[in-house]
Amino acid sequence: MRTSEDIETFLIKAGLAFQVLKPGVWAIQTENIGESLLISVAGPILAFRLRLMDLPPTGREDLYRRLLTWNTTDLVHGAFGLEGEAVVLVHALELENLDLNEVQAVIDDMSMAVARFYPQLAGLRPHHDGSGAGARPRV
């Protein structure tokens, strides 16, 4: 079973800037996003969470339909979800036989998902002016 020390070693080897928030929880520094990619040990699982946006005040049914469709057709191991009033992207890996390649693959997969789906999500963000301006999450 991998330990927190192993995870930190993976993050260092991957060249990722990170901050230890508490034992077993890391914030990976990202560009142009208010929140970092959070990685945490949760029992036998390494969980990844990236906050993408606040839920819009209207048009939520369309957003939910898109998220559920993308979960079914485009995301293999991760999923879009809701956490309070926010849309998040999550992944999880088992710690038992975890290696650096798996950690890097999840981070890359999340990056690709953000690049692919964020433009569509940005149009649904609260206070969106339609110009396409605004921060874009990157991992």
pLDDT tens digits for the chain (139 residues)? 899 999 999 999 998 889 999 999 999 976 645 468 999 999 999 999 999 999 998 889 999 999 999 999 988 889 999 999 999 999 999 999 999 999 999 988 888 888 888 888 877 766 544 444 445 454 4
Q: What is the pTM assigned to this prediction?
A: 0.84
Q: What is the CATH number of the domain that holds 105?
A: 3.30.1460.10
Tell me, yes or no, whether 137 lies in a domain.
no
What are the strands of the beta sheet with 18-22, ordered from one edge?
A: 18-22, 25-28, 37-42, 45-54, 86-94, 79-83
* CB of 48 closer than 8 Å to CB of 39: yes
Tell me, yes or no, whether 83 lies in a domain.
yes
Q: How many domains does the chain have?
A: 1
Which residues span the domain enclosing 29?
A: 4-122
CB-facing half-sphere around the CA of 61: CA atoms within 13 A: 0
